[in-house]
Amino acid sequence: MIRDNVARILSDLPPGVLLVAAAKTRNPDEIFQAIAAGVTAIGENYVQEAKDAHSVVGKKTQWHLIGHLQRNKVRMAVGIFDMIETVITRTASPTARGRRE
């Protein structure tokens, strides 16, 4: 089912558009299935869930934080994610940038 859904979605995307597959509530086996089907970026809503999945899946894909990033989670997030899409406060952004550089 995952393979068929990913194939359908990828075939509908125009060139140059990156599919970020939301992995909320998905287990590492399902994430591996999505990667095998052609997904190159996984989006997670929660830093802790991403940490758990990342420890199994690793760098076989890009990791995107698609949920809110709270200041107290910045340190953990920059060690996991390749892209942070959202932050809750403006003060979290420079903190994340400084830790990544």
- List all residues 6 or more positions away from 87 whose beta carbon is below 8 Å from its beta carbon: 68, 69, 93, 96
User: Class assignment of domain 2-100?
Assistant: alpha beta
Q: What is the pLDDT of residues 22-80, one digit of tens each?
A: 998 899 999 999 999 999 999 999 999 999 999 999 999 999 999 988 888 888 999 99
Q: What gap in Å lies between CA 93 and CA 91, rounded to an integer? A: 6
HSE-up of 68 (CA within 13 Å, CB side)?
Answer: 6
- 98: pLDDT confidence band, cut at 50, 70 and 90? low
Strands 83-84 and 41-44: unpaired
Q: What pLDDT, on the 0 to 100 scale, is given for residue 87?
A: 66
68 C-beta neighbours (distance < 10 Å), count: 15
